[in-house]
Structure 1
């Protein structure tokens, strides 16, 4: 605790000790053993059981994390009109509800837009054409339209880093796509997140890849500009699909110039409808804040899902 602090936040404890672990599983084991007071992320291996543990206080609530996978504009068979048909087909081919239950034990919520539930402008009715709804028949229909332009060949791959926690859902998503469309689809592991990130940044990946957004501030701009605006493409931001749309950019510019927040949000939502048509990424789900604390420890979590450290009391 810094006694010289004169800012607006009230400090309710005498200080915090931070512990660094090699894995989330090790940290979770320490929490259960009573050797850790607060853990702000639960490992995938414990998502099915952590809310039933008697000696911890479990938390699962909407958070700011949007998860997707990106399909580069330069990937073979995913360019122009053919690419739009294939992206929409893949969006229909993923059974988000089943994956949310089977892999994440309900700690994620299937996506309905490109924001997150805690962000102003989040909308469950934005997807008027139900592009994000699991529909095998519609997926096959759209895939056939793409095949009429250029017959499909090869394997659809989703890349992820093997040193992370994405293997199960990536394999489940690939399996869902394979079953719905009748094509070869598989996971594509990179040994480390560093290797995956390098392949994405150098544009050498030649596959779809796990992606997502979590803004540093609760506003649609933090999700939409960095991820999809032309100014953030070509390695200048997080637009790693190199998606470029004059229609989208114009709406983003109008929203940025708007001084009325509600009007700005309306423009951001219009820009999202463009994204639903073009699908530079395939929205998957929003990850809940999954956290836990030892019994007797009081913790508040902010909109980012981060503990308010100054108010933790024991």
Structure 2
């Protein structure tokens, strides 16, 4: 998924921003009080979305959110607060066996797996489900596998009778994937929506399959009214003994759609009626976040994630004075992270960042190559600029979103750089123009504020999309236009490493290797806050992702 966006646009869209700086925030909780798993009750999830599709070919749903309640994958995520995320078996007996140097991955399905109508789940159903994701009419889903499966470049799905030969099913329980390159993170890829099984016999109308898909998880969709509600009920054929990550507490789960974030948050704060058995799928808006902090009852039901997505300042390494690594290193000291954080809403909105690999990602190593006070070190920056021959003449353009939040963040950085003698001119653009400007081939900009949330918790997801030279231009998100042959080679080696501990060490070394060249300035790791009703239990956010784990939520008896 393309996650890079202006931080301001991201915050405005999700209403994460706080009003002003909370100078003395209370340490947030990442979970409501843990309680025994209870069965029963009707859970409601309040969402601003006007449309929900449970078609795995079209979905970008995280493994622990909506789609994971209905459709299982070969692997899935084990998410526990205070612990790094890890992949675990789901439909498969293990997380995959690699061979051929990491280019071939083999899975065996568990015994006793069935769809909600009692039909056995076979390897052919997984293969067909994955092949559907290549059909042009079912676009929009996560597509990492499309670039990795051998011979897939010209494949257009199964609806013309063709199969993808690099997905083999020698029997009903075995499925084998042949890749065009070694890929150690394939078990993460196998946890994505497209790896959900789809029975060919049920795929008679692909355009509407997502309204009532064949269920392999603990719930099946009973009804769907676009823009209004989607209701799930228990899948009587789901076998808990085959499923270690889903607790299936509530009897029913209803997604109440088209909910204004402010209205939903106010209802959850009041905690009356159905709100007591509800939680919000969207971030808490600024006014209600402040209100909840001052309300003891609501505060106990406010759950804030640990630091997550990376907000960063991209420095166009192929542009003028920024081609000089000494200039880029000087800017690391000149940046005022404190002012940027204030503009982003204060300490409940994030924490200062120094690394490219984000918190909660296995293999991450904490370090700071450019230690400075929170407000920066203008004197150090001036000295480095003078050494580089730019004592007072550095003049840069920062392209930014034209919304209020983006402008405030850009102005905070502008004022910080001014203290170091660096002139920064702001160029506000609408969202579409801005994205085109920074991801196209022209590179007509100096600086850009972006945000990146990987789709799976591997350092690969942090590093490769932002810093591999193949991702420059043509819609790619190497917005710093960073190009280094040694880094590209190191990325390729780490990508192919099957041993996860060895891969983690390699990625940590690459993180530092890139930051020595200073193509970006890490700014903050952003946080998300959510509210739930008083009868909602086991509502928790792990170290990754910065969203609640729907699969574990239960209701008080």
Give me the TM-score of the superposition, normalised by structure 1: 0.83
Q: What pairs with 1:132-147 in structure 2 (closer than 5 Å)?
A: 134-147=376-389
Partner of residue 313, structure 2:
69
Counterpart among 358, 361, 367 of residue 116 in structure 1 = 358
Name segments (4+ residues, structure 1) moved above 6 Å.
none
* Shift in alpha-carbon separation, 1:260–1:186, aligned structure 2, 3 A: same
* Structure 2 unpaired stretches of 5+: 1-218, 221-233
Q: What pairs with 1:50-199 in structure 2 (closer than 5 Å)?
A: 50-56=292-298, 57-79=301-323, 81=324, 84-97=325-338, 99-100=340-341, 103-107=344-348, 108-125=350-367, 127-130=368-371, 134-148=376-390, 152=393, 154-162=395-403, 165-179=405-419, 181-191=420-430, 193-199=431-437
SS at 1:109's partner residue?
Answer: strand
> What CA distance in whole angstroms lies between the structure 1 residues aligned with 2:464 and 2:528?
24
SS at 1:139's partner residue?
Answer: helix
Task: Check the 8 A contact 1:86/1:143 in 2, yes or no.
Answer: yes
Q: CA deviation at 1:234?
A: 2.6
Task: Check the 8 A contact 1:226/1:232 in 2, yes or no.
Answer: yes
> What CA distance in whole angstroms lies between the structure 1 residues aligned with 2:518 and 2:297?
44
Partner of residue 210, structure 1:
449
Q: CA deviation at 1:137?
A: 1.5
Counterpart among 480, 489, 499 of residue 260 in structure 1 = 499
Task: Check the 8 A contact 2:439/2:475 in 1, yes or no.
Answer: no
* Shift in alpha-carbon separation, 1:162–1:21, aligned structure 2, 3 A: farther
Counterpart among 235, 238, 254 of residue 6 in structure 1 = 238
Q: What pairs with 1:263-302 in structure 2 (closer than 5 Å)?
A: 263-298=502-537, 299-302=539-542
Partner of residue 229, structure 1:
468
> What CA distance in whole angstroms lies between the structure 1 residues aligned with 2:464 and 2:491?
7
SS at 1:234's partner residue?
Answer: coil
| Larger relative contact order (Cα-Cα within 8 Å, sequence gap ≥ 6) | 1
Q: CA deviation at 1:269?
A: 1.6
Q: CA deviation at 1:224?
A: 0.4
Give me the TM-score of the superposition, normalised by structure 2: 0.49
| Larger CA Rg, structure 1 vs 2 | 2
Segment drifting more, 245-254 vs 287-296: 287-296
* Shift in alpha-carbon separation, 1:270–1:129, aligned structure 2, 3 A: same
Task: Check the 8 A contact 1:157/1:208 in 2, yes or no.
Answer: yes
SS at 1:77's partner residue?
Answer: helix
More helix by share: 1
* Shift in alpha-carbon separation, 1:194–1:30, aligned structure 2, 3 A: farther
> What CA distance in whole angstroms lies between the structure 1 residues aligned with 2:510 and 2:554?
43
Q: CA deviation at 1:52?
A: 3.1
* Shift in alpha-carbon separation, 1:100–1:50, aligned structure 2, 3 A: farther
* Shift in alpha-carbon separation, 1:91–1:46, aligned structure 2, 3 A: farther
> What CA distance in whole angstroms lies between the structure 2 residues aligned with 1:182 and 1:44?
34
> What CA distance in whole angstroms lies between the structure 2 residues aligned with 1:90 and 1:130?
12
Task: Check the 8 A contact 2:467/2:482 in 1, yes or no.
Answer: yes
Task: Check the 8 A contact 1:158/1:174 in 2, yes or no.
Answer: no
Task: Check the 8 A contact 1:111/1:132 in 2, yes or no.
Answer: no
